[in-house]
Amino acid sequence: MRVKFLGGVRTVTGSATLLEKDSFKWLVDCGMFQGNKEIEERNRNIQSYYPKDLSFILLTHAHIDHSGLVPKLVKEGFRGKVICTKATFDLCEIMLRDSGHIQEMEAEWQNRKHQRSGKIEVIPLYTVKDAEESLRYFQTVGYDEIFPMADGVRVCFRDAGHILGSAIIEIWIEEGGQEKKLVFSGDLGSSDQPIIRDPSKIEEGDVLWLESTYGNRLHKSREETVNELLKIIQEAIRDQAKVVIPAFAVERTQDIIYTIGQLIRKGFIPSIPVYIDSPLAISATEIFHRNSDCFDQETQELLAGGENPLELPEIIYTKTTEESKAINEDSRSGIIISASGMCDSGRIKHHLKHHLWRKESHIVIIGYQGEGTIGRRLVDGAKTVRLFGEEIAVKSHIHTLGGFSAHADQKGLLEWLSHFNNPQLEVFVNHGEEKISIELGEIICQKFHFKTIIPQWREKKILFAPKEIVMPEMEIPEKVMPEEGKQEIVPSLEMLSVLFRHLDRNYKMLRRKLRNLRSRGKEVKDPRWLRQLEEINEKLEKLESEL
Ligand SMILES: [Zn+2]
Ligand SMILES: [Zn+2]
């Protein structure tokens, strides 16, 4: 069978693997690339996903870096089935819509800018309507049910303990009279995460795709982290101040609600107002309520005892912008949980603007902060940050709490891996920054003697052939890795024609400027002009002969 690594390799986002058995093609995950402009450009060129020829997309979980390109694939002709757990479907329903909304907003914002500078119109990757349309193709399965997907292909979803509904996917393949087993770890949770169950242990497999987000890190213990949060809340209550927590809408927000609830239930803090100021987080919390069968035993017991672990005595859900603004008019101490988790968009920005400059306020960072985000700047100790065009002084307390992560750390990943009992196991280390995947791969090799591979983006492989054959990717030009870690994009014709329009426009502007200079009787004095134009001309001629 053939495998193609389409994303989530040597990077965290864009998870997608194409699998091919005879003429039957399917994907495991279909995530959006997120980060810098260059990597996000990959979202536009998805012909190598074969949207029209795919029979299935199996989703490990609802996070956008695993599910975010489903609407785009449907838009490009995918008519198969998207298979996932029920909770993943419920979450995808709100998250894909939200993602469509973000794509629309993003395009609108860019178009406003482009209009002013005369550039061409940007089309959103997909819209809310596209996202809604894609939901028609979803089909849900329960955990631990083995089901046939095609002739000689069986599949099973096991709990991955990462977010509600998240799954490890096992795939059994019959090839040449033999059965082989593939395992996709998806994103693996850590074992002390509240509400949801611990990751299922898998003991058998021939080939494993293993995530490595925190493959080089050890998290602080949950107990230590909760104690740190307790101290912060106690201090804020003493000073009548507010605690602002930027949090991802799914899982992290519910995790914090649960933890604050525990602190109140155990009598460590009195009841204080807790504002959930993120429409997506509010919908996500409702989905948690609907999927309590995914909860772990401790949470189930709380429910059975009549306690709702996702309720608090003074929880305030703010849906409208007016309600959101009113939070900061309340002079009592309180906790504000808002998105985005990396502080670069959404309502959290308003709360930061209101609290960053106040000495008594607390900002608590609990999740991963990507490079270049406001959250990362705060963690790195910035003295000021720019919000809504204004420079805001950072005077409040900034805390970083590591123990609330939804990903297993290095110890957790190795522990999970230690249950595999096949010494011939091959491990593809994915879903991590390049350096981290390589580091984890080396440790796995030393510790378990498993063969580890860090795939390249768009690399093809043949599995279970008598001798392993590595297929070079024909579509990639020779220069795959121009500079450290940066991979070159293979452009679509659509991308090229956009560039040509830019070229046309720039060329005309240049001509106009030259005409103006001539009509004013001026001369070009700078010798670079001639040289540069000559170079451009040469390059164009060369390109024309190559195309
Ligand atoms: Zn995830
Ligand atoms: Zn992920």
CA distance 487 to 520: 47
Q: What is the whole-number distance in angstroms between the Cα of residue 29 and the centre of ligand 2? A: 10
Task: Give me the mean pLDDT over the 329-333 stretch.
Answer: 90
What DSSP designation does 482 have?
A: S
The overall average pLDDT reported for the chain is: 90
Q: Which residues contact 458 (CB under 8 A, 6 or more apart)?
A: 4, 5, 6, 48, 473, 475, 476, 490
Q: How many residues does the chain have?
A: 547
Q: What is the whole-number distance in angstroms between the Cα of residue 15 and the centre of ligand 2? A: 7
Residue 489 is predicted with a pLDDT of: 64
With 80 as the cut, is the pLDDT of residue 53 above it?
Answer: yes
Q: Which residues contact 496 (CB under 8 A, 6 or more apart)?
A: none
Classify 388 in phi/psi space as left (phi over 0), alpha (psi -120 to 50) or beta: left
Q: What is the whole-number distance in angstroms between the Cα of residue 491 and the centre of ligand 1? A: 28
At 405-417, the pLDDT tens digits run 899 999 999 999 9
Counting ligands in written order, which one lies closest to the CA of residue 250? 1
Confidence of residue 544 (pLDDT cuts 50, 70, 90): confident
Q: What is the pTM of this model?
A: 0.81
Q: What is the whole-number distance in angstroms between the Cα of residue 63 and the centre of ligand 1? A: 5
Counting ligands in written order, which one lies closest to the CA of residue 32? 2
Q: Which two tokens stand for residue 312?
A: 């608090």
Q: What is the whole-number distance in angstroms between the Cα of residue 67 and the centre of ligand 1? A: 10
Q: Which residues contact 517 (CB under 8 A, 6 or more apart)?
A: 523, 524
Counting ligands in written order, which one lies closest to the CA of residue 12? 2
Confidence of residue 356 (pLDDT cuts 50, 70, 90): very high
Task: Give me the mean pLDDT over the 497-507 stretch.
Answer: 76
At 196-229, the pLDDT tens digits run 999 999 999 999 999 999 999 999 999 999 999 9
CA distance 439 to 451: 14
Task: Give me the mean pLDDT over the 11-38 stretch.
Answer: 93
Confidence of residue 532 (pLDDT cuts 50, 70, 90): confident
Residue 328 is predicted with a pLDDT of: 87
Residue 46 is predicted with a pLDDT of: 92
Counting ligands in written order, which one lies closest to the CA of residue 214? 2
Q: Which residues contact 313 (CB under 8 A, 6 or more apart)?
A: 264, 271
- Residue pair 445/21 in contact by the 8 Å Cβ criterion: no
Residue 358's nearest CA partner among 312, 331, 394 is 394
At 376-401, the pLDDT tens digits run 899 999 999 999 889 999 999 999 99
Range from 11-15, 52-56, 175-179 carrying the lowest mean pLDDT: 175-179
With 50 as the cut, is the pLDDT of residue 477 above it?
Answer: no
With 50 as the cut, is the pLDDT of residue 89 above it?
Answer: yes
DSSP string, 501-512: HHHHHHHHHHHH
Q: Which two tokens stand for residue 241?
A: 């101040």
Ion ligand 1, residues whose Cβ is below 5 A away: 63, 187
Q: What is the whole-number distance in angstroms between the Cα of residue 19 and the centre of ligand 1? A: 21
Residue 468 is predicted with a pLDDT of: 46
Task: Give me the mean pLDDT over the 237-245 stretch.
Answer: 96
Measured N-to-C along each axis, helices 252-265 and 279-290 cross at an angle, to the nearest 10 degrees, of 70
With 90 as the cut, is the pLDDT of residue 525 above it?
Answer: no
Q: What is the whole-number distance in angstroms between the Cα of residue 77 and the centre of ligand 2? A: 25
Of residues 446 and 175, the one with the higher pLDDT is 446
Residue 488 is predicted with a pLDDT of: 59
